[in-house]
Amino acid sequence: MSDIESLRDQLRAFAAERDWDQFHSPKNLAMALAGEAGELLETFQWLTEAQSRDPSPEVRAAAAEEIADVLLYLVRLADKLGVDPLASAQAKLFANAAKYPVDKARGNAKKYTEL
């Protein structure tokens, strides 16, 4: 069993023990995920580019907590939709490699449609 599968199973048990499965529709989970992603953004909101690259221990701890929330909701949403998040991520990485060939994208932040 992979780490993601183990986390998925722990989340299933956590929700079941609290009778929260009734609230965990894909819509609600996606909304919660977006909210947590916003909280992650908030940890970096007023930092300079340099500060965001080398955050203080407090900012790093706050970001770690929000990253955990994002991951938990993402894994739960994937479970509810029957999606393997690792397989999906690997497929997306493969697709992105085709969209952003190294010879055109290296050192360039343009969208693939502008390369």
The pLDDT of residue 97: 94
Looking at beta carbons, which pairs linking 1-4 to residues 24 or more positions away fall under 8 Å? Answer: 2/86, 4/75, 4/85, 4/86
Q: Would you say residue 1 has pLDDT above 90? A: no
Q: Classify domain 3-82 by CATH architecture.
A: Orthogonal Bundle (1.10)
What's the token pair of residue 71? Answer: 């991951």
Tens digits of per-residue pLDDT, 80-111?
999 999 999 999 999 999 999 999 889 988 88
Let me know: does 20 contact 102? Beta carbons within 8 Å.
no
Tens digits of per-residue pLDDT, 62-82?
999 999 999 999 999 999 999
Q: Would you say residue 38 has pLDDT above 90? A: yes
What's the token pair of residue 7? Answer: 């986390």
| Mean pLDDT taken over the chain | 96
The pLDDT of residue 25: 98
Residue type present at position 81: L
Q: Would you say residue 113 has pLDDT above 90? A: no
In the chain, CATH 1.10.287.1080 sits at 3-82
